[in-house]
């Protein structure tokens, strides 16, 4: 504990996950006073067809097209 779930659009590299997991664990230890070994993080990838904002799927949402395209390029 803390048990942290990170729901994110598919497309991040393994290196990004590793760096993010390490950085957040550092912050949990420093700010929340957690024991490092108790910090757990799970990544859940979703696609732009799985999420809607304001009733519009991200894959159909022009205001998010830049974000989605950037992830697809990797």
Residues at the interface with its own copies (CB under 8 A): 1-9, 12, 14, 16-28, 31-46, 49-57, 60, 67, 70
Q: How far apart are CA 13 and CA 19, in angstroms?
A: 10
Closer residue to its own copies, CB minimum distance, 37 or 62: 37
Q: Cβ 74 to its own copies, closest distance in Å?
A: 11
Q: Cβ 30 to its own copies, closest distance in Å?
A: 8
Sign of CA dihedral 25, 26, 32, 36: positive
Structure tokens at 56: 């519009």
């Amino acid at each position: 504990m803390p048990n942290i779930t990170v729901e994110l659009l598919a497309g991040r590299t393994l290196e990004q996950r590793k760096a993010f997991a390490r950085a957040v664990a550092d912050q949990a230890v420093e700010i929340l006073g957690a024991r490092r070994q108790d910090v757990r993080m799970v990544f859940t990838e979703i696609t732009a067809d799985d999420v809607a904002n304001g009733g519009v799927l991200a894959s159909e949402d022009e205001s998010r097209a830049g974000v989605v395209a950037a992830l697809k390029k990797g």
